[in-house]
Copies of this chain bind each other. A is one copy, B any other.
Amino acid sequence: MIDRVAVLTGGGDAPGLNGVIRGVVRTAQNRYNAEVYGFMDGFKGLIENRYVKLDAQNTSGILHRGGTILGTSNRDNPFRFPAGRDAQGNLQFIDVSDQAIQNLEALGIQVLIVIGGDGSLHIAHEFAEKGVRVIGVPKTIDNDLEGTDQTFGFDTAVNTAMEAFDRLHTTAESHHRIMVVELMGRYAGWIALHAGIAGGADVILIPEIPYDVDCIIRKIRQRCAQGKHFSLVSVAEGATEKEGSMVVAAHIEDSTDPIRLGGVGQVVATKLSQATGLESRATVLGHLQRGGSPMAFDRILTTRLGVKAMIQAVEGPWDRMVALRCGEITVIPILDAISKTKNVDPQSEIVQAARAIGVCMGDDD
Contacts and interface: CB of A to CB of B under 8 A. Distances in A.
A90 interface: no
Contact of A66 (B13, B170, B259): B170
Interface string A54-71: 001000110111111001
Contact of A200 (B64, B68, B71, B291): B64
Interface in A307-365: 307-308, 310-311, 326-329, 349-350, 352-353, 355-358
Given A63-B200, A350-B304, A159 B296 contact: yes
A287 B168 contact: yes
Which interface residue of A30, A200, A287 has the most chain B CB atoms within 10 A?
A287
Contacts of A159: 295-296
B326 A291 contact: no
A72 to B, nearest CB: 5
Nearest to A65: B170
A110 interface: no
Nearest to A269: B259
Contacts of A63: 198, 200
Contacts of A297: 155, 158, 297
Interface in A152-206: 155, 158-160, 162-164, 166-171, 173-176, 179, 194-195, 197-198, 200
B179 A287 contact: yes
A355 B303 CA distance: 11
8 A-B pairs with least C-beta separation? A67-B170, A167-B291, A66-B170, A198-B296, A67-B174, A26-B357, A326-B326, A198-B299
A107 interface: no
A282 interface: yes
Contacts of A358: 26, 29-30
A52 interface: no
A304 B349 contact: yes
Contacts of A228: 60
A171 B356 contact: no
A95 interface: no
Given A63-B200, A158-B296, A299-B198, A176 B356 contact: no
Contacts of A355: 30
A22 interface: yes
Given A167-B66, A259-B282, A327-B149, A353 B197 contact: no
A281 interface: yes
